[in-house]
Amino acid sequence: MSPTPPRPIAPGDIVAAHSEHLGEWTAAQITDLDPDRQTAGVLELDWSGPEPSSVAELGEVGPLRLGHTDAGVEVLARGNQEWLLPRSFRVLGSLPLLVSEGYDGYSSGWHLGSRLAQSRRLRAGVTEEQPTPWRLEPRAAELAGLLAAGPRPEVRWLHVRGVRDLDLARLAEVFPNLRRLELGGDLGTLRHAGALNELTGLRRVRLDDLFGMTAADCLLPQRVPQIEAIELDGIPAEYATAIRKRWKPEIPQGVRLEIRGARKPEWVAENRDNPLRDWDRRDGISETRFAKAFNQYKVTRRAVLAVLADHAADRQAQLAEIGREYGELFNRLDGRSPFIGAVEREELFEALAAIAPDQPEVTKALAAGVDAVRDW
């Protein structure tokens, strides 16, 4: 663990960055550094303007004040960020600290400008959400229509969930000026992933639970030199290895690199029909627990489908009994070192609902059986 940030920063430093929300530059002060948590305290300033080259160009600056709590305590725009200063941020110089006390809140991403823009709207009496033509968050089905319609050069942020199959070569043609791209799937497929290298202004990319990429599709520092964040979770192992090799040397330049859930083709084939696949390697869930959970789901699914095919008069009672067996197995699996929290509980019920998604009475009977016995 390094005792200092990858990019040199110190308490008192004034950093500046361009904000899409403001359409101009804004600034913040580094208030403290925590080597143990590797975080930096960041206080946003009530300033925006053209790109500055020095602290003096900011004039007299103060903290961005957001209001007061019910107890009358002033609320400032501040938080603790990961202490890697993004590549696009500039260190202008230093000023005496504008606050002296610490702050416990944590946020991720160094997203300067959004709170200042919102504060200014509220001061002006504007309460309606303002249009953001530079930002799109379509559903995957809506994205297909956008890709067919033609170029959208004004779009710089694109966030899509539920991707099943996507041609990134076409996406790069339609959205050539992307700075931020977030794509999420459910074992979805990305084709022509190497085309992301055509997005030369790209700064942040996040891919979740998407496959089809190979080492040959790797993002290349010389092609996308403005990249400052790559976040991958649930991606092909060979793509993950290639990205890590290419981009780890770039971290000191201000590139945040987070790679989790690198999967081999065999894992994808084995878990394509496993609604609990996100449990693999999750904290508190051992490989043995994961295997037993998947096996119990398969046993439960087979039993439910057999009951549905039989059309017996006591079908509801049979389904409830299957639910009880499901609940009892996970009681035992939870055991002496419980791991089933609110998220896992919801996922267990969602797995049952996925067995017969068009028959809510089936899910209801199964859930009733589970609820009768579960300890989680």
pLDDT given at position 168: 98
- DSSP-derived secondary structure for 92-119: EEE---S--S----B--S--TTHHHHHH
pLDDT given at position 356: 95
pLDDT digits (tens, 9 = 90+) for 119-132: 999 888 888 888 89
Helix (H, G, I), strand (E, B), or coil: what is residue 57? helix
The ranges of the chain with pLDDT < 50 are none
pLDDT given at position 101: 83
pLDDT digits (tens, 9 = 90+) for 94-110: 999 999 887 888 877 89
pLDDT given at position 130: 80
Cβ-based burial of 333 (10 A; exposed 0-12, middle 13-18, buried ≥19): middle
Let me know how long the chain is: 376
pLDDT given at position 214: 98
Q: Which of 256, 263, 268, 220 is nearest to 240 (CA)?
A: 263
pLDDT given at position 210: 98
pLDDT given at position 50: 97
* Per-residue b or e along 313-331, where b marks 16 or more CB atoms closer than 10 Å to that residue's CB: eeebebbbbbbbbbbbbbe
pLDDT given at position 108: 77
